Amino acid sequence: MKRPNILFLFTDMQRFDTIHALGNPIIKTPNLDRLVHEGTAFTSAYSPSPVCVPARCCLHYGQYPNRTGLTDNGIMPEHNRQSMPDLFDGADYVTQAIGKCHFTPDVHELRGFQRRLTQEEGISNPADDDYCKWLSSQYLDYDEPHGTRGEMYYIPQVSLHDEKTHPSSYIGSKSVEFIHEQKNQVKPWMLFSSFIHPHPPLAPPKPWHKLYRSPDMELPAIPDDCEALLSWVNRHQNRYKYRDQGIDKNLAKQIIAYYYAAISFVDFQIGRILSALEEDGILDNTMIILSSDHGEYLGDFNCYGKRGMHDPSSRIPLIIRYPERFTANKICAEPASLVDILPTIAAAIGADVKDWTLDGIDLREVADGVADRKYVYSQFRGKETGIYMILSKEWKYFYSAGDDREFLFDRNNDPKETINQADNSQYNEIRTKLKHELLIFLQQGKFSDAVNMVDGTLDWRKYPKYDFSYLKDPKAKLLFQDHDAYTLKRKGYTV
């Protein structure tokens, strides 16, 4: 068998329900729809940690936070030479990353890739970012190239850049260039094309900002007893993202419209990349993977952001197109995770990972129904504010230490997660079983401090509840994620 090329298309903060072919009647995603029809879609895929850096760390090393130790945006563990791009060492592949990797603390680190073109959030200095450098070379504005953050984080805005110079277009163009450069080369390749959008700020280019109009958008899904369904992180996050001072329904719809526009513009870039594969005659010998690091509440539960364990935040799109191993037009509802990507690629290229410490499994086994796995896991933070999740095909259970609260949702009969069954005695056996499995999982890893053993019985260790007294002050805990204000400083104004 000829060794396949690997094309990994990765978005940032894309919800699971933003693909037309998988049930969203409003959004326009013809190229993602094509991948669905020509590949296998995993419709119960979850982030191992619903926030950027730890999710990408789990993806990169095929391990849950229980092994990586990283559960929030912070410093990734030292590179151990057993990462996704390290699979190709000794296999004579060319490896390239284009776009957001979010490696910390060094954004320029390779972590197994042979080469990278960087495009990272929060950078406006051409010396630190390849995309900003390219903008500078074209005499274009490179200050806040992805949109204005801070107070504008969730305010829809038109991009500074047109559709040919927009950050998503840069990823598309550089990916197409890379593919065509490899046409006459002997070596197979692995390309990680990583888009920052639809991550806020919501800044699609003209004319894409008019693809969806707010009156046509559905309002966010808000259950009747919404407040009772939230954990501490939802309330905390709504504050620092400027979304806790009342709901404007027109704005809520406009946020969705621009979020969808950002996804459709990424979809357009994916179409360009697929066309390049077809032009070079290598489409069917390229394993194409599409996924995202986590989702976005987008107003559901009256919340915005990620970090929570509800589906809008933790559930992600995951599609694989590769006729050699994955059936076309197949829907797989078995639980899947980003930690499964590394072993899936390893199996496709014949890489030997028997001595690697991996938590994931080959997704072909999942799709074929032969995988010996019942659960996937997710975690945000640890100790006194930890949120820990276990998920089966039928049920989702998570515990929030910051609230000392359990949540249990019936995935089949309550897919919108409107009723917390954790206190329903009818489901005590299910809750106890999932809780026990999750506690054992945590006890065996780096977060055993979440677990308490009393008289031989595992239970949650109790911590003080999260202090929300700061919410009395409407200015407290607001987040400023601005780029460097060096332009204003140069003009003599202080910020």
Edge-to-edge strand list for the sheet holding 405-410: 376-380, 387-391, 395-400, 405-410
Tens place of pLDDT for every residue, the chain, 495 residues? 589 999 999 999 999 999 999 999 999 999 999 999 999 999 999 999 999 999 999 999 999 999 999 999 999 999 999 999 999 988 899 999 999 999 999 999 999 999 999 999 988 889 999 999 999 999 999 999 999 998 999 999 999 999 999 999 999 999 999 999 999 899 999 999 999 999 999 999 999 999 999 999 999 999 998 999 999 999 999 998 889 888 899 999 999 999 999 999 999 999 999 999 999 999 999 999 999 999 999 999 999 999 999 999 999 999 999 999 999 999 999 999 999 999 999 999 999 999 999 999 999 999 999 999 999 999 999 999 999 999 999 999 999 999 999 999 999 999 999 999 999 999 999 999 999 999 999 999 999 999 998 888 999 999 999 999 998 898 898 888 776 555 566 666 665
CATH 3.30.1120.10 fits domain 379-467 = yes
**Per-residue model confidence as pLDDT tens digits over 451-479:** 998 888 999 999 999 999 998 898 898 88
Confidence (pLDDT) at 268: 98
**Per-residue model confidence as pLDDT tens digits over 242-299:** 898 888 999 999 999 999 999 999 999 999 999 999 999 999 999 999 999 999 999 9
Confidence (pLDDT) at 81: 93
Radius of gyration of the chain (CA): 22
**Per-residue model confidence as pLDDT tens digits over 334-371:** 999 999 999 999 999 999 999 999 999 999 999 999 99
Confidence (pLDDT) at 110: 96
Beta strand pairing call for 40-42 and 457-460: unpaired
Of 6, 5, 10, 3, give the one whose Cα is nearest residue 338.
Answer: 10
CA–CA dist 238, 220 (Å, integer):
15
Q: For the chain, give the number of residues.
A: 495
Q: Where in the chain is the domain with CATH 3.40.720.10?
A: 5-375
| DSSP character at residue 99 | E
Q: What are phi and psi of 453, to 5 degrees?
A: -105, 115
For domain 5-375, which architecture applies? Answer: 3-Layer(aba) Sandwich (3.40)
Confidence (pLDDT) at 487: 59
Beta strand pairing call for 387-391 and 376-380: antiparallel
Confidence (pLDDT) at 480: 82
pTM score = 0.96
Residues 341 and 361 sit within 8 Å (Cβ to Cβ)? no
CA–CA dist 159, 392 (Å, integer):
40
Letter for the amino acid at 287?
A: M
Kindly provide the b/e burial profile for residues 31-70, where b requires at least 16 CB atoms within 10 angstroms of the residue's own CB. Answer: bbbbbbebbbbbbbbbbbbbbbbbbbbbbbbbbbbbbbbb
Confidence (pLDDT) at 184: 87
Letter for the amino acid at 278?
A: E
Confidence (pLDDT) at 91: 87
Q: Where in the chain is the domain with CATH 3.30.1120.10?
A: 379-467
Residue indicated by tokens 């499994």: 361
Confidence (pLDDT) at 114: 97
Confidence (pLDDT) at 482: 73
Letter for the amino acid at 260?
A: Y
Three-class SS state of 94: strand
